Homo-oligomer: A and B are copies of this chain.
Amino acid sequence: MSFIESFRSFISEQALFTPQQRLLLAVSGGLDSVVLCELCSQCGYDFEIAHCNFQLRGEESKRDEEFVRALANKYNVKVWVEAFDTQAYLIANKLSVQEAARELRYEWFHRLLDTRENRLDVLLTAHHLDDAVETSLMNYFKGTGIAGLRSILPKQNKTIRPLLFTGRKEIREFAAANQLQWVEDSSNASDKYSRNYLRHHLLPVIQQLYPKAEENMRRNIPRFRDIELLYQQAIDSHRKKLLVQKGEEVHIPVLKLQKAIPLTAIVYEIIRPYGFSAAQTTEVIALLNSGSGRYVQSSSHRIIRNRNWLIIASVKAERPSLILIEETGNVSFPAGELTISRNFSSDGKPDTSSSSVAYIDASLIQFPFTLRPWKNGDYFYPLGMRKKKKLARFFIDQKMSSIEKENVWVIESDKRIVWVVGRRLDDRFKMKGAGDIIKISLALRK
């Protein structure tokens, strides 16, 4: 099968997208994304190009942007370009360069997809099989479940990786055969990032020890994907047998759970969605041999031993829908307590690095303002971003569980969100030099 036939057949076998759909290609201008463009063009797909300029590499960043504009011109397709102040964003949010670039990139891509007028159906990125092998290996070293081992998925919601059928070498050969031009990212050559170190130092040693390692590890990836699917099926089947929904509570018969095999993995998967950590699995298993009334608690739920049952119940108190904050002082709410104070900014440079403290330009909000649970449709301007973002999307990007989302509150002033409590400040309300500051500190309920 030729390279392009393999590409097409991977797309249809994995049901990644249909030839009728409109594609947005994430293109850095590097080898992989240039090959992705060429393949989509040769297949006659209907695509547009999106390029992020992270402004981290000076002239090189400009060169890359120009290169991608020319590339779009060559294929006669629309190109979207966005410049980011990555440095400011990563400082404001205490992120690594790679984390910041990732957040900014996907936030923008999804905004393009979500804007209906753009008529874009799915996002295509140029991750390939060797990327997946490297991620899998890194996860193996970091300690992982099966989801870490199968690493990058060909399809995850609207994000699609159609090059996962092939690797670096084959991509390079296709580029050579088609006389493609691309730009080299100088940071790929450095060992600053652990992925590059792994690629340049560790993989060669492995390859020397096991000459077929590369080939073998590539074959691992789809195999691990299948193993994960079967793992999930088995977990679902245990869940179905063990969990009894009673009103707002979930009841689990102790005798039945005691016989479940393998107990640790099953208990972990049952309690995880309720905000419990892997470390709490042992405590929950201990409840199987404890008396009535003992319990284990997460930030949102309690698992209580009650006779022959374990009961999973929410710990949310009677939920007020809105709390009015009328002055400085302490305010109690279900998730904890807020302390509000007013200072002059000249009282030393405040430490803005903690997400549980917000420093707000006092000239921009007035008492009373409100504290309320977030609701669907809420949006804000995350610190460091110039565009607004739906909270629902922000939570997805932050990989928050449904339980975590349930417990998010916001500070609102004049119909505008000021602070997603304990998560992120709104860019519009940040301090802008001298002047008064409203400081709000969050103490979580233990």
Show the binding face of A for B, using Cβ within 8 Å. Answer: 137-138, 140-146, 149, 194, 197-198, 201-202, 205-206, 209-210, 212-213, 215-217, 219-220, 222-223, 225-227, 229-231, 233-235, 237, 261-262, 264-265
Contacts and interface: CB of A to CB of B under 8 A. Distances in A.
A261 B15 CA distance: 13
A314 to B, nearest CB: 28
Contacts of A217: 140-141, 143
Contact of A209 (B140, B202, B264): B202
A149 B233 CA distance: 20
A216 B142 contact: yes
A411 B202 CA distance: 52
B209 A262 contact: no
Closest 4 CB pairs of A and B: A143-B216, A226-B265, A230-B234, A226-B262
A141 B231 contact: no
Contacts of A229: 261-262, 265
A192 to B, nearest CB: 13
A225 B262 contact: yes
Nearest to A268: B226
A203 to B, nearest CB: 10
Contacts of A210: 138, 141-142, 194
Given A198-B209, A205-B202, A227 B143 contact: no
Contacts of A138: 210
B233 A237 contact: yes
Given A223-B145, A234-B231, A265-B230, A194 B209 contact: yes
25 contacts: A140-B140, A140-B217, A141-B213, A141-B216, A141-B217, A142-B210, A143-B212, A143-B215, A143-B216, A143-B219, A143-B220, A144-B220, A197-B209, A198-B209, A202-B205, A202-B206, A202-B209, A205-B205, A222-B264, A227-B231, A229-B261, A229-B262, A229-B265, A230-B230, A233-B237
Given A222-B264, A233-B237, A237-B237, A141 B209 contact: yes
B209 A265 contact: no
Given A140-B217, A142-B216, 5 more contacts: A137-B140, A140-B140, A197-B209, A229-B261, A231-B231
A56 to B, nearest CB: 24
Nearest to A235: B230
Nearest to A140: B140
A216 B219 CA distance: 24
Contacts of A141: 206, 209-210, 213, 216-217
Contacts of A205: 201-202, 205
A262 B230 contact: yes
B198 A146 contact: no
A20 B226 CA distance: 43
A149 B220 CA distance: 11
B140 A223 contact: no
Contacts of A140: 137, 140, 217, 220
Contacts of A143: 212, 215-217, 219-220
A289 to B, nearest CB: 13
Nearest to A230: B234
A145 B213 CA distance: 14
A403 B324 CA distance: 75
A225 B265 CA distance: 10
A388 to B, nearest CB: 38
B197 A227 contact: no
A178 B223 CA distance: 46
Which of A141, A209, A230, A237: most chain B CB closer than 10 A?
A230
